A and B are shown apart, each in its own frame.
Chain A
């Protein structure tokens, strides 16, 4: 018996063999449902509220609102950004604080994730939940709490704006660092680590040559989840530094509250370009899309 005899008829064949009556009924229907049509509303929604707004901010970034209310082409926002030292300063401070916060979160979060994921050190799964739990308590409330406790201990935006802001940022983003690192650590190849130590590597060498390279995707996605959000944060820097530190988020918020749509759009566009650049730079490390709480539930 050849295998071709066992083959199931495919859809065209089925249709060919159907009685003519059924086909006639099908043809009469003006609109026949196909599963792929279900993507229509979703696609239209994305087009209207993701693609179109980005197009609009590009338009606003390179135009100017005249007194009559019409938009005319202009480079004012661009020139304004590159000639105002305070605005360039914001970019530098944001980059600096973003990098610093990413590093601190990784330095604290990496060992925590490693210890939590390794059966040798920890067998308690509820501990992992405890680390993620602050994410479910309103973050503005947590930020306020952090500020109040810090100022109770004598560190406030008035005397140590940078210290207070850094502490607030680390508090806020540490759970987001631990989660992707933890999910990567769970998938570490145990036999490779064992092989490394069997072949004579000491603990440090095993760590550097086997564990760290294996956890690079986790490190990259953790960094991705901290760096950009830190640069564009508004609440944390505004609350903890009492308005003394201006990050990208703060300046866009300021533009928003003063209805400066053209300047605001230009700043948002720069932020968008930074996002695209960082995405492009980390693209090759991204093996799976288990980002931002993907493994949370």
Chain B
């Protein structure tokens, strides 16, 4: 018995890096040094994070700062003014592009969500071989370079236009829409899939037993269960569509708010402008507006999440 405890105690004493309690003075000194060490490390880590963050935000911040002066180039300050904000909302070109961008983002995301969700549900209940084929094809647009997606779609539209539609130009809002749907569709599928896997498989059967027909069971039991996945798929689609340049530039045609002219979205309009010269002054005001919008969204989401997780903790506490 005694031998045993000794055998256990011995290795801990030799391995431990902290001094034993036998020497309280030494222990205190060690702890103090350790604390100082941690503090220095934390400060260094924090300053590294902040330096990278500040460097990352310099371009945006400079644009925002110079949105309050009306000089053509950044770097020259001609006095504080709100003029650019007035210009921004009177600029027909920018407003048209903004409208186009939002319409395309919303429409393409809705289509992606409907197609992607039903695809994920269908594939989930399909045979394994079928599901695997669908999933492998779904991965293609995810890993593929955007420019290859754009080029392949464009060449296909050219091919269809010249051989199936008798040499007409089929580029329009619809081809653009197809491009944006393809861009975001796999991400809807991939965000719905895990929710289906987490779902209780008995739920659907239970709904059927309780008198639902199949579509009711899907609508009332399955869809609410996978709603978080659908929502995140939708938000991801919106983000991808808003930010897209390449697919838009390749697959667009005339239409939408641009009328008879080629559709301009924010990305293509800004690209056309910055190819010729500096970011146009009104766009600096636009940057501020977008930045504030995104910032308030981020802060809102963070607060919402914190409140929610606190509520969950409180509920858990009560349960115990």
Contact = CB atoms under 8 A, between A and B. Distances in A.
A119 to B, nearest CB: 11
B152 A54 contact: yes
A152 B71 CA distance: 14
Given A40-B122, A149-B58, A271 B155 contact: no
A262 to B, nearest CB: 9
A131 B147 contact: no
A211 to B, nearest CB: 14
Interface string B42-84: 1001101100110011111011000000000111000000000
B15 A198 contact: yes
A200 to B, nearest CB: 7
B8 interface: no
B236 A35 contact: no
A235 B246 CA distance: 8
B31 interface: no
A125 B306 CA distance: 10
Given A33-B215, A140-B270, A39 B250 contact: no
Interface in A41-81: 41-43, 45-47, 49-54, 56-57, 60, 69
Contact of A297 (B45, B140, B235): B235
Given A120-B38, A139-B245, A143-B274, A38 B145 contact: no
A297 B17 CA distance: 43
A125 B298 CA distance: 11
Interface in A273-294: 275, 279, 289, 291-294
Contacts of A296: 232, 236, 239
B12 to A, nearest CB: 10
Given A174-B56, A256-B250, A268-B152, A239 B126 contact: no
Interface in B254-278: 266-267, 270-271, 273-275, 278
Given A141-B283, A297-B232, A292 B147 contact: no
B311 interface: no
Report which residue of B38, B156, B214, B235 has the largest number of chain A beta carbons within 10 angstroms of its beta carbon: B156
Interface string A169-186: 001001100000000000
Contact of A265 (B145, B155, B298): B155
A233 B295 CA distance: 27
A112 B189 contact: no
Contacts, number: 281
Contacts of B147: 232, 234, 248-249, 252-253, 268, 271
A39 B126 contact: yes
Nearest to A231: B145
A100 B73 CA distance: 32
Interface in B85-144: 115-116, 118-123, 125-127, 130, 134, 137-138, 140-144
A17 interface: no
B286 A261 contact: no
A152 B146 CA distance: 31
B146 A232 contact: yes
A92 interface: no
Contacts of A192: none
B153 A42 contact: no
A161 B250 CA distance: 26
Nearest to B140: A50
B122 A148 contact: no
How big is chain B's contact interface, by range?
Answer: 35 or more
Size bracket, chain A contacts: 35 or more
A247 to B, nearest CB: 10
Given A121-B41, A126-B302, A137-B290, A148 B278 contact: yes
Q: Among the interface residues A149, A261, A267, which one has the most CB atoms of the partner chain B within 10 A?
A: A149
B52 A41 contact: no
B212 interface: no
Nearest to B115: A42
A206 B287 CA distance: 44
A108 interface: yes
A238 B270 CA distance: 13
Interface string B193-234: 000000000000000000000110010000000000001100
Contact of A232 (B145, B154, B178, B250): B145
Interface of B: 15, 17, 38, 41-42, 45-46, 48-49, 52-53, 56-60, 62-63, 73-75, 115-116, 118-123, 125-127, 130, 134, 137-138, 140-156, 158-159, 162, 167, 178, 181-182, 185, 187, 189-191, 214-215, 218, 231-232, 235-236, 239, 242-243, 245-246, 249-250, 266-267, 270-271, 273-275, 278-279, 283, 286-287, 290-291, 294-295, 297-299, 301-302
Closest 4 CB pairs of A and B: A42-B119, A39-B122, A38-B122, A53-B152
24 contacts: A36-B125, A36-B130, A37-B122, A38-B118, A39-B119, A41-B119, A46-B134, A50-B137, A50-B140, A57-B148, A112-B52, A115-B49, A126-B298, A130-B298, A141-B287, A141-B290, A145-B62, A148-B59, A199-B15, A224-B143, A232-B146, A248-B147, A249-B147, A297-B235
